[in-house]
Structure 1
Amino acid sequence: MFQDGKGASTSSDQDGFNELLNDILAQTGNGGIGQVSTVADLGPALAAKVSLKPASLNPLFAAASSYQSEKTAEKPIATDLDKLIHDASSRNHVQPSLVKAVIDAESSFNSKAVSHAGAKGLMQLMDATGRSVGVDDPFDPAQNVQGGTKYLSNLLKKYDGNQGVALAAYNAGSGRIDRLGIANDQDLAERLGELPKETQKYVTKVLNLQRNYEG
């Protein structure tokens, strides 16, 4: 999880990612990516519309796949974390493939991983973030996956199901996203260049991984 700091992107990176998001928005219409009528409570109705929609049916993933610059494995290898991931996904109404993609991107399934900024464990939780979602031991896989998935679920709810924004906030921090006035994926496309290059790449990487882990 990347914490607030300055970053810059090349024009080619920005143009490519803007093209990705604009393609998505064009396919989904004026409502934006994953836009839903209500998110008053994060339950089965929201899950069916947003978080639990199969990646193969979501134009977000098709667009991300076309933008992919590095090939991922043809078929990911199942891990012993699958049960934890599915339990956390079910409890928090987030698609398992998205949780697994975030774990892969954040820590490469290393439960003892620690970033230079101090983010810890499978889903790379900062201490304050972990405490806010009930994590006492970030290196405990069960706690980390449950807490990280709850945090991701909260971001999806906060940003009305706009998955690109939720992932950007997971990586860069919701404070940075909010200060830039980014509330949906159209905003993300327009202000992409103001986010760290790492965040720009992170969103696309997670989407590509999620497609690979789908099914």
Structure 2
Amino acid sequence: MAPAPRAQPSPVAVAADVSSAPVSTGCGNGGPTTHRGLAAATAASRTMYWPLLRNAECRHGLPAGLLDALVFQESRYRPLVVSRAGAGGLAQLMPRTAGDLGVINRFDAVANLDGGARYLRSMLDRYRSVPLALAAYNAGRGAVDRWGGLPLNRETPDYVRKVLTFFNEDA
């Protein structure tokens, strides 16, 4: 039997661990920053959900702006969107993950953002690395564990790069 594929080092996988990311401070203060190229509808939706997002981000001790970047990549701030895989809501929770988190209605913005923040926090605690936590959020922790790092599938490296790019624009 061939050994499991191993992840190759990449700039994303070598990024700093979670201890170097700024923890949310000034919770509840200010609004979202402006990002280049953000569609007007997305910017308006982002502004509308910002207080809920910041509340969830702060309550679960996430690095400032990380949940914002994740939600932007996952749903573009569309609360009713469903992916081809069946993930739904702002933070794109899969039905089973939502159930495990106690999220009854994935399309309720408060519950969805809280569930997404709790799941992301659990991945940060598990992997102690922002890129690996994002990879696990996208591909599942089983994929990260099997690869021994960033899964080198079609989607995950690009997903992690895009979330980190958006996240770093806020830094």
TM-score (norm 2): 0.78
Matched, 1:83 2:51: yes
Query: Contact 2:24 / 2:61 at 8 angstroms: preserved in 1?
Result: no
Structure-to-structure mapping, 1:90-129, within 5 angstroms = 90-129=58-97
Shift of 1:132: 1.4
- Structure 2: state its 5+ residue gaps: 1-6, 26-34
Q: How big is the alpha-carbon RMSD for the aligned residues of Structure 1 and Structure 2?
A: 2.6
Give the percent of matched residue pairs that are identical in Structure 1 and Structure 2. 34
When you count helix as a share of all residues, which structure comes out higher? 1
Matched, 1:209 2:166: yes
Shift of 1:197: 2.1
Aligned residues: 151
Cα distance in 1 for residues equivalent to 2:50 and 2:139: 26
Structure-to-structure mapping, 1:1-215, within 5 angstroms = 18-19=10-11, 21=13, 24=15, 33-34=16-17, 36=19, 49-50=20-21, 52=23, 73=36, 77=43, 79-160=47-128, 162-182=129-149, 188=150, 195-214=152-171
Question: CA offsets, 1:156-202, max 9 Å, x none?
Answer: 00012x111111111111111112222xxxxx3xxx5xx22211100
Q: Which residue does 1:29 correspond to in 2?
A: none
Cα distance in 1 for residues equivalent to 2:115 and 2:13: 29
TM-score (norm 1): 0.63
Query: Contact 2:18 / 2:124 at 8 angstroms: preserved in 1?
Result: no
Query: Contact 1:123 / 1:145 at 8 angstroms: preserved in 2?
Result: yes
Question: CA offsets, 1:119-174, max 9 Å, x none?
Answer: 000011001111111210000000000000000000000012x1111111111111
